[in-house]
Structure 1
Amino acid sequence: MDIWQQGFMVRRQLLQLVLLHTAWEMGSGQLHYSVPEESQHGTFVGRIAQDLGLEVSELVPRLFRMESEDHGNHFEVNVQNGILFVNSRIDRETLCAKSSVCTIHLEMIVDKPLRIFHAEVEIKDINDNAPIFTVNQLNLFVSESTAYGSRFSLESASDADIGKNALIAYRINPNEYFVLDTQNKHDKTMSPELVLKKTLDREDISLHHLLLTATDGGQPELTGTVQLVITVLDVNDNRPLFNHSVYEVSLPESSANGTLVVTLEATDLDEGINKDIFYGFKPPLPSNVHKTFAIDQNTGEVRLKGKLDFEEVNLYEIQIQAIDKGHAPMEGNCKLLVEVLDVNDNRPEMSLKSLSVPVPEDSPPGTVVALISISDRDAGANGQVSCSVWPPRLPFKLQSTFKNYYSLVVAEPLDREQEAEYKLVVTAQDHGAPSLSTTSSLVVPIGDVNDNAPAFAQPSYTVFVKENNPPGAHIFTVSASDPDVGENALVSYWLDEKLWPLSSSISVHSESGKLYALQPLDYEELKLLEFQVRAKDAGLPSLCGNVTVQIFVVDENDNVPAVTVPGEEAATLLVVPMTAGHVVGKIRALDADSGYNAWLRYELHEGTSGPWHVGLYSGEISTTRALDEAESSNSHSLLVLVKDHGQPALSATATLSISLVASAQAIQADAHLPGMGGSPKPLVDNINIYLIVAICSVSSLFLLAIILYVALRCHCQPKEAVMYGPGTATLVCASEVGSWSYSQRHSRILGGLAGESSAKNDLMVFTPNIPVFAETGEVGNMKELVQDSSGQVSLQSSF
């Protein structure tokens, strides 16, 4: 090949590339290449990566792959340079038989993101097949009475190539009796005929040998030959003739066996036996014709004996012959064309090309989930397919992408917590009558995204814990739930210590949510702990939820009553003789506990004797009978037992020494005894009624306070985590005559809130009309505890 030819080939390839690029830019969406058949392995076809607008470096990362629908792996793409090349030998005749255009459809698929491209490679025919005859020798019988110019049809040669490579020209070796002529038949093929140019004389030459040569139009040209043996016969000089040279029939592919295709009729001008005709298929007979059709040799009826299939053969071309029964049989020929009409007998076929699951729940609308290929072997409307998905109300939809390709895409926002998996049924239905359909099930799981924070069952928890708990005691368990899955639902717990370091008092187990008291709680020091527990999942990024926990410390009877006057030491009372029921003094005692644990009662010790009585709840010491001056020389020792109502009850004792003196002496001496009184006070009857009313009132007030507190906590927003110290005032019944004891504790807020802690004040309210010996020592100078408008308790004197 010289330089000019090489340049011409280069310009031709460049022109093809330009045309391909122009077709691409016009929106065809499909590349077209061509390659000659029989090309060797590695033959260059095209720069497919460049033509598709892809960078060569993207092919491997984006998982470039190529598929061929029905023709094997004849082509391959080198992902290193993006060149499409021939991978295996291609025989156009094997692939496409006599089709005028032979193409192989290729699909190029890339992921990340998913795209699909299409290309067609046209297989160009080369002259690699010579014309052939079905037999090596063709016998002809020609009567000697055959007229000058008579024609004899000869077998046509066949060439597997197409186009000019299949254009066949015929010739015979020169002779004086016959010449060769060719005619264009109905199918535009060349059919050779032998023409008699000189009357035959059997007695001169009874047998003629000719060589028929068929030459195709390829470069270089190829030839095939058949030996013609012509036997000259006598007498029977007319051959059968058909009414039509070509019979055309159309049959639907659903026609049943035995269906009459056509009735052929041929006539012979001879008489007698030379006129009798029998019909048959002219050899060579293709195998599919022999299996599908049958002919009655006497009547010429052609009937079906096998099933028609439009998808396999849509046109039958059958050569028919009629031969008379003369001594020298003569033959007439015609062609039968049977067109098979398509019937909707093939269901659509579905193929899943790509599936990307699970689908993240935060996928935006338009995200491609699956790529589905739809095909139907039928033709026309029978092969047109539409695709749908069921059930209709799903967050997915089908979109037509290219020809019979559909993409399943996200149509609406997804939520795995509402629906973790979707079961879809894809239906492909053709447009035939009646239509046929195919269904396929598809499961689309939804991938979890950390879009839900841990949540507690309620906004706050109220816990009651007895004081004096052992260190490390389990007091409560909080639990939060997360509707996500996996790491996104793995919850851990921790305390919010922004306002106060709780690590020394309370801890929470990070996995179970169990709350532990790290040290014993003391009701007298701390009545309420309020803090927040946070729950955090293990997602990226992690999400948090919180809950407020209120721990109320429940009082236990752990404090012994404390006697303030006269205390643990003995005190001496000097009294004048008096009448029965006269109050000589009063014992004062306090209990640091609250409620029943701080409700005190007074009793005389069992070993104590004498005319003395102590008030069960008032602590007042009075006489049980009248005392006179004769008993002044006597000294009386009283042991008073002070008990609370706790379980078990705790107690303390006080010892009193009483001496009887004269009236003047008693007045002088009693002035020096603090806390004792001598003026009588009548006891109030029916003490139990007052006690019951008092206890019920306290319980009702306490229950009402709890209800109001819970209602306010539910109504208000969660507060910051705080811990409160002592502060609430506890009302306790202290005497049988209706007086009350207040355990006053000033509240303080721990963690930096306003206010300073103050000391605990335990005071006793006395009934004003009970005489009390004050510290001044003056008789009749009594002090009573009253509560001012600010809630403080003070000591006032009365005369």
Structure 2
Amino acid sequence: MSFSMFRLCGFQILLVIHLAMCQNFGNLHLTGPLKDMNFSVPEGSGVRLIYQFTAEPPAVSFRATGEKDGLLDIVPKTGVLYLNGSLDWETKTKYSLQVESLDEEGQRVKGPYTIIVFVEDINDNPPEFDQLKYTGVVRQNSRPGKPFMYVHATDRDDPSTPHAQLTYSILHHFPNPYSQMLFQINNVTGAISPSMTGSYYLDPQKQDTFTLVVTVKDMAGLTMNAFTSSADVIITVKESLWKAPPTIHIQENSTRDHPVNISQVHSNEPDAIYELFVKEQLPRLPFSVNQNGVIYVTEPLDREKKDTYLFFVIAKDKEGELVDKPLQISVIVEDINDNPPVCQKALTVLEVQENEDAGNYIGTVSATDMDQKDTLNSRLQFKIESQVPAVPANDLFFIQQDTGILQLISRSLNKRIASSYSLKVLVTDAVFQTICDVQIHVIDINDQIPIFEKSDYQNVTVAEDLPVGTVILEIQATDADEPLTGSSYIVYEVKEGDPNKTFIIETDPETNRGFIKINKALDFETAQVYNLVIHATNPEPLVPGVQYNSSSITVFKVFLTNVDEPPVFSREAYTAEAFENIPVNTLVMTVEAYDPEGDTVRYSLEGDVKKWLRIDSSTGKIYTASLLDREQKQAYEVQVVASESNNVAQKSKATFVINLKDVNDNPPRLATNGALFFCHPLSGGERTLIQATDDDEQMFYSTFTFSLKDDTDTRNNWEISKINSTHAYLSPKHTNFDEKVYNVPVIINDNGRPPLEGEINLEVNVCKCSSEKSCFIAVQRERSWPSAGQAIGILLGVLLLIGCIIASVFFHMKYKEKDQKKSHQEDAKDQAELHSLAK
């Protein structure tokens, strides 16, 4: 074999290797002479080479005519028949071409020959429902799994293939108030029925209409490549026979023969077994139910013991399983007048002054009735039955019939004639009556005023930090009226010198001693001296002609001593907002504090764990000390400390929170880092889902765009298609992949201002898969993809080595250097032809 023939053979080997690497031929023959031929190409297969016709001298080129339709053509110089787009079986099932070879003058050498390209059908027809919208009706409490309607879909693909094997499912459920769907669908028949949850919770009073989005998939739903269609199913929920009766009213203490029929329930299921149960603990449930659903009260009820009952009726089948949800039965026990009035006190004791005017209020007789409130059964009326002694008259007192309020009829009381009276008050309801005892004491008139033991209590000195409630002085006044009565009880009040009620005075009812207490926090800087004027009075009015005078007045002064107090902030908490990218040394807040004693205030920060802030110790201005990061901390909180310059132990704290607003400073990334895989060998149409996310706030990553890095290998092998704002599909563009790990560079852009871009090297395993569709062997990791030029260079190097070995056998060593140089030149020409072929 000559070296030139070897080079020609090497070029043909290189061409075959190149075509095998770059294209998917299936079982097609790669090259051959021009003749009538038939080819089968799957529809939608995209750009691909079909066949290469070899030229027989003097032919130097080829020409194709006929039904090319812009999709089929031939490379004139190389004779490569190729597909320039995607075929559609539904549009055209075959293409007929005429191919002929031409000499250098363009004259026909051979042909034309008929070349027929048959289009193979693939699963490219989605299933279709026979209705755009379905409606159905389901009864409340229907048994789970019992169909109440059907949906139906058809597929134009071959019904004898998986392409038309349909599977139904429920995609969405509106509304869906529970964690599980209320409805279910048979994936083969399209029968829709209530789920276990739906059978229990469906209630037209809560929701009478549901919308289901039902989907149908072809390919028996067993592959991600299956087509899906959907239809809305509108379901109306109607009431069932199984419903709770209205609230049942039963009169208490019934004398009828028990048990008594009070209601009845009906199950949707025939031959249901009824039972009662109650959640609360009762000594005994006074109700029962028979097997016809009739509910009985089994004994008389007492409203005063229990006025309402809540229990449940359940219906079971013979196996003891619930056939309906439990029904709540509400029973209200109605009142009858079966309780007499009861006096609130065994003896009601009241006081009245002997000079009391006619009509004045004396007191109230109180009684209760256990019968139902605000009904005639519990309405009480009062009447005075007797008065002892009956002097100076037997009708000195009057009681209001419906309120029990006692009043004096005339001004005729005299303690010397009678110091007390005993009344019998008759209290009645519509059926019963009760006697309540009342004792009225006649007390001395208030004709004596309180007299202070001192008219001036001099001075009291207290520190401003004494706590509220501290007693600072005790005072004493006396009253000569009858002890332990309203005429002798003394009420102390600060009349002058304390407009803000800083002090209060409490009285000991036994001794009438007054205790002056601090009522509000003292403040030396606000008031240093209080000149207090205190009056002593009685709760009972003085008799005409008697008046309070200076004997019922005392005075004293309260001096406050200053206490060193810590600084006071103008606010307890400060809040600011800032973008996270503001420069260092940006002013974000100014805090203010003052010292009550006028000392200079110094500021500092505590809790600045990230060292993001600094504060001017003199002015209280807070600046950024380093770059902020919202993704680390959205609300950053520190404590601002204000301390006295001369006494750092005197300090106060306030909270400062800076809320960081987001800027788009994080590029998008993949939501998961796990490797993806495709099962080897690929059959076509595979795709896998990828999801993008972003550490910035929602406004910056609500929409992502996906793309592949613009390099030859990535562009020839992969494609990416967007699904929504956060998801996309990654798909191989052909099936000719080796078993190994491919690095696919994916570029993701967010919609921030300005937008950011993230580049991710996505690892994709092409591997043999187990029956569970997962990789079961490790695959060789691809370090890097060589470029097209590098691949050709490697192949040329291999061929050169082979050429050197063969040439050493056939040629003399003195011609070796010359022949190698010539070989390089011809290999460069071959490389240029390959590039032209690939275009």
> TM > 0.5 between the two?
no
TM bucket, shorter chain: under 0.3
Normalised TM-score (structure 2): 0.26
Structure 1 or 2, whichever has the larger Rg, is 1
